[in-house]
């Protein structure tokens, strides 16, 4: 989508601090980190959120999970949290699917 912030980041049109990239997804550090380690994993194709994941594109979401697992291991993370906000009430501010990966500090539950 031409006016989507994360589509532009995935294409390199807006700079970001890259963590990982392949043909399906892109990972980069969050600009406003909420933990000592906080990066985002996004698909290169535009999907608005988890709510747009279907049987037809579920391989993309599955691939993103495998990337999270691989990158977290490479970073030496053994305990971390993966979060995806869907819609305004849940706090989604960028309408392009992304998984937050947060680690390096104690986490509380339930989340706010
Ligand atoms: P959410 O609020 O769940 O939609 O998450 C969006 C996240 O994107 C927030 O944690 C923001 O800090 C982050 N963010 C927004 N713009 C940028 C950017 N240009 N580079 C990196 N992270 C960003
Ligand atoms: Zn997008």
The residues, any chain, with a CB within 8 Å of residue 104's CB and separated by 6 or more, are: 35, 36, 37, 77, 80
Q: Is 85 in the pocket of ligand 1 (CB under 6 A)?
A: yes
| 54-62 CB contacts, 8 Å cutoff, 24+ apart | 60/24, 60/25, 61/97
pLDDT class of 44 with cuts at 50, 70, 90: very high
Mean local confidence (pLDDT), 5-15? 98
Share of the chain above pLDDT 90, in %: 97
At residue 98, the 3 state secondary structure works out as: coil
Q: Starting from the CA of residue 2, give the closest ligand.
A: 2
pLDDT of residue 112: 86
Query: Distance between CA atoms of 104 and 39, rounded to whole angstroms?
Result: 12
- Write the DSSP assignment of 27-46 as a string of letters: EEE-SS-SSSEEEEEEESS-
Q: What's the rounded Cα separation, in Å, for the pair 110 and 19?
A: 28
Catalytic residues: 98
pLDDT of residue 30 exceeding 90: yes
Q: Is the CB–ligand 1 distance for residue 32 below 6 Å? A: yes
Does ligand 1 lie within 6 Å of residue 30's CB atom?
A: yes
pLDDT-derived band at 95 (thresholds 50, 70, 90) equals very high
Tokens of 59: 């391989």
Q: What residues are paired with 25 via a beta bridge?
A: 43
Q: Is the Cβ–Cβ distance between 84 and 50 less than 8 Å?
A: yes
């Amino acid at each position: 989508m031409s006016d989507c912030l994360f589509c532009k980041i995935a294409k390199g049109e807006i700079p970001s601090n890259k963590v990982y990239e392949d043909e399906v997804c892109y990972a980069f550090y969050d600009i406003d980190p909420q933990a000592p380690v906080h990066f985002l994993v996004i698909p290169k194709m535009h999907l608005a959120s988890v709510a747009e994941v279907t049987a037809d594109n579920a391989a993309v979401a599955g691939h993103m999970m495998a990337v999270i697992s691989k990158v977290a291991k490479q970073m030496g993370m053994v305990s971390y949290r993966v979060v995806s906000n869907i819609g305004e009430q849940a706090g989604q501010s960028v309408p392009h699917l992304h998984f937050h990966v947060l680690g390096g500090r104690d986490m509380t539950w339930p989340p706010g």
